[in-house]
Amino acid sequence: MSATPLRAGLVGYGLAGSVFHAPLIATTAGLALDTVVTSDPGRQEQARAEHPGVRVVATPDELLARAGDLDLVVVASPNRTHVPLATAALKAGLPVVVDKPVAGTAAQARELAALAEERGLLLSVFQNRRWDNDFLTLRRLLAEGGLGDVWRFESRFERWRPQTKGGWRESGDPAEIGGLLYDLGSHVVDQALVLFGPVTRVYAEAVVRRAGAETDDDTFLALTHANGVRSHLYASATAAQLGPRFRVLGSRAGYVKYGLDPQEAALREGRRPGADEPGWGTEEEALWGRVGAGESPLTGGGRAEPTLPGDYPAYYAAVARALREGGPNPVTALEAADALDVLEAAHRSARDGVAVAL
Domains annotated on the chain, with CATH: 6-128+314-321 (3.40.50.720), 129-312+342-352 (3.30.360.10)
Q: What is the pLDDT of residues 180-223, one digit of tens each?
A: 899 999 999 999 999 999 999 999 999 889 888 888 889 999 99
Least confident of 84-88, 147-151, 211-215: 211-215
Q: What is the pLDDT of residues 307-322, one digit of tens each?
A: 999 999 999 999 999 9
DSSP helix/strand/coil, 33: strand
332 within 8 A of 124, measured Cβ to Cβ: yes
Measure Cα distances from 205 to 14, 217, 234, 308 in Å.
29, 11, 10, 33
Model-level pTM greater than 0.85?
A: yes
Q: What is the pLDDT of residues 251-286, one digit of tens each?
A: 999 999 999 999 999 999 999 998 788 899 999 999
Q: How far apart are CA 152 and CA 174, in angstroms?
A: 32
pLDDT at 274: 86
Bridge-partner residues for 225, per DSSP? 199
| Confidence at 102, pLDDT banded by 50, 70, 90 | very high
Q: What are phi and psi of 344, to 5 degrees?
A: -65, -40
Q: What are the residues whose beta carbons fall under 8 Å from the beta carbon of 63, sequence distance 6 or more? A: 9, 11, 35, 37, 57, 70, 73
| Confidence at 2, pLDDT banded by 50, 70, 90 | low
